[in-house]
Copies of this chain bind each other. A is one copy, B any other.
Amino acid sequence: MNASDKDPLVLFMPSGKRGRFPKGTPIIDAARELGVYVESVCGGRGICGRCQCDIQTGHFAKHGITSTADHVSEFSPKEIRYAEKRDLKPGRRLSCSTNIEGDLVVDIPQDLQINAQVVRKADDGRIIERNPATQLCYVEVEEPDMHKPLGDYDRMREALERDWGWENLEVDFALLPTIQKVLRAGEWKVTCAIQHDEEGSRPRIIAIFPGLKNEAYGVACDIGSTTIALHLVSLLSGSTIASSGTSNPQIRFGEDLMSRVSYVMMNPDGREGMTRAVREALNNLIGNVCAESHVDRHDILDLVFVGNPIMHHLFLGIDPTELGGAPFALAASGAIHCKASELDLEVNSGARVYMLPCIAGHVGADAAAVTLCEGPHRQDSQMLVVDVGTNAEIVLGNASRTVAASSPTGPAFEGAEISCGQRAAPGAIERVRIDPVTLEPRVRVIGIEQWSDEPGFAEAAETVGVTGVCGSAIIEVVAEMFLSGIISEDGVIDGSLAERSDRIISEGRTHAYVLWRGKQELVIKQTDVRAIQLAKAALYAGIKLLMDKQGITHVDSISFAGAFGTFIDPKYAMVLGLIPDCDLDHVKAVGNAAGYGAKMALLNRGYRREIEQTVRRIEKIETALEPKFQEHFVYAMAMPNKVDAFPKLSERVTLPQRKLMADGMPEDGTPRRRGGRRR
């Protein structure tokens, strides 16, 4: 546009991108030249309303810009018509029909709702800058002409090139038989969904709708081995319309990952059965979110999935047997592109699926998504990202170098190897405090509001029951046992305390702690403490190994992803030595960061390239091949960790301080989310 210094200065918010443009430039052209994504379905015809912008007025001293309403062209006939037919709020303009006439501050609303019927769901508030792989493009196609006998498809393609600049377009073959009917139904006006993900690929027409189609949806989904979480997202506004979750039906084939791999190895149709089960569950979830928000599932055009390598393979229909043993060879580690129909997903027949790359045989697309969400590779300080499941996936690094590993924590953190462990359900103990003097516990139970020493608890417990200890609370029990001196630094339950409390009981050659006495007696055995010790030692050893690789003894921040991260208190994790020393203000639970990473990849294809490049750069550390891992593991069996392995925290948490720390623990019964974001 050859702008000069005398041309008006335009600042786009919230991106902050700015530039000078000659008077008369449409705002949408200025935005695009600066790389500010402004949606438009109708291609500047003023009928879709997707390109709305807010003209800010006032003097913006910081930017040196005085922006006024008369620094833009007058309302155009298109805008007047749109405002009459639809609803254009005061201050709003259509950026396709509004020209720059002076300095401007233009706000591009990030969450524009055009279709009022859409049910809004509270989103996380974080803005994902959009640049979707799938775009709706409205065109008016020339009618057939015997003098110019191009086919109907070919004329549509011409219109897409002329009006939208799409060159070298391809079309899904399955659409060819439908094009003539759709063109005639729309009276030669149609909206094409164009998918253009990777730069080196040809853009592709994946769906065609008669007339103006002003809404399209995407799905972001994290396929966990236990839980599947799925979000329905508007591709045009970027907002999450509805979310739903379900337990992974593959559980009936095997509780944990390795038992599912075994099932495949033992049963000829095992892989197929598990693939079908997870795809059915996904179709049901898609049905749920669509029903909830009155969305037609055939309007879903793009889907992003993440999951650990075994979930990844089973979902894609790939035999995961190779992942069951060394060298843990993935069938494919790079990002996967395919059609939703190839995965039997019941959405638009042209819809595309993108799966984030896997980092290694044990560090999957879910870890990649967590990495994309948290972004250690986007910052200078050393960030530790931990996602605890059956294995703990660990990523550590910054913009210059990132390393990753999987630590074999086993299922103890999920409560699976704990004698009184149970799933998080009513009746499960979720919070524990032990008085270091009397050794008496206070607990909070899911489904009961009061702590166990508060009035009303007993009555409620009659109804709800107290039946077990949920996974994340195990950490708290063991930490409290340590803080109250019931277990020593090497994890032995101190039998001599039986003198002080009848809660310390003898069990053969070891001792145990009676956490609860009621209809059911809940006992923390020495083997339970050992299970947690082993798990935490594995996690810590993995982290320490990565810290060695980075040559650091201190991390700047820690992000705890996943349900485990959401429910445990980071302070207890640090007391036990699950995670290294770090300023607690920089330790945060980030919830379903994997799902959020999937959503980022759904809304912005730039994030797909970013995580692909990042994963290629990430150095993968195989703990089993590193002699140092064993060494760290042995040290980390201690609570919190052996002094030489982890001096700083160990110093701080000396026995005299335990009472103090225990006093500082939150009493409100809710897990702390320091700096954490709800998703």
Residues of chain A touching chain B, judged by Cβ–Cβ distance below 8 Å, are 143-154, 157, 168, 170, 173-174, 176-177, 179-181, 200-202, 316-319, 322, 326-334, 336-339, 342, 358-361, 620, 622, 624-625
Contact = CB atoms under 8 A, between A and B. Distances in A.
A153 B202 contact: no
B329 A144 contact: yes
A403 to B, nearest CB: 13
Given A332-B152, A334-B151, A334-B154, A145 B327 contact: yes
Nearest to A143: B327
A152 B338 contact: no
B333 A622 contact: no
B318 A152 contact: no
B179 A361 contact: no
A329 B625 contact: no
B328 A149 contact: yes
A202 B170 CA distance: 12
24 contacts: A144-B327, A144-B329, A146-B622, A147-B620, A147-B622, A147-B625, A149-B333, A150-B333, A151-B331, A151-B332, A152-B322, A152-B329, A153-B333, A154-B332, A154-B333, A170-B201, A173-B338, A174-B342, A176-B316, A176-B336, A177-B316, A177-B319, A179-B332, A181-B319
Given A147-B622, A361-B149, A624-B146, A180 B336 contact: no
A326 B319 CA distance: 54
A326 B147 CA distance: 11
Contacts of A143: 327
A290 B360 CA distance: 44
A143 B328 CA distance: 12
A332 B173 CA distance: 11
Contacts of A332: 151-154, 176, 179
A316 to B, nearest CB: 6
Contact of A331 (B147, B176, B202, B333): B176
A328 B146 contact: yes
Contacts of A625: 146-147
Stoichiometry, as copies per complex, reads 2
Given A144-B322, A144-B329, A179-B332, 16 more contacts: A146-B328, A146-B625, A148-B620, A149-B359, A150-B333, A151-B331, A151-B334, A153-B331, A157-B334, A176-B318, A177-B318, A177-B319, A180-B318, A180-B322, A181-B319, A202-B202
B180 A329 contact: yes
B200 A168 contact: yes
B149 A620 contact: yes
A183 to B, nearest CB: 9
Nearest to A361: B149
A317 B174 CA distance: 9
Given A174-B342, A342-B173, A331 B152 contact: yes
B200 A151 contact: no
B317 A149 contact: no
By Cβ-Cβ distance, the 3 closest A-B pairs, closest first, are A151-B333, A144-B329, A149-B360
A144 B322 CA distance: 10
Nearest to A271: B177
Contacts of A174: 342
Contacts of A624: 146
Contact of A146 (B177, B202, B326): B326
Given A152-B330, A329-B151, A180 B622 contact: no
Contacts of A179: 331-332
Nearest to A145: B327
A181 B359 CA distance: 22
Nearest to A338: B173
Nearest to A168: B200
A200 B146 CA distance: 30
A499 to B, nearest CB: 51
Given A146-B328, A176-B318, A625-B147, A334 B153 contact: yes
Contacts of A181: 319
Most B CB within 10 A of own CB, among A145, A151, A176, A330: A151
A622 B144 CA distance: 13
A181 B318 CA distance: 11
Contacts of A327: 143-146, 149
A334 B156 CA distance: 12
A182 to B, nearest CB: 11
Contacts of A620: 147-149
Nearest to A318: B177
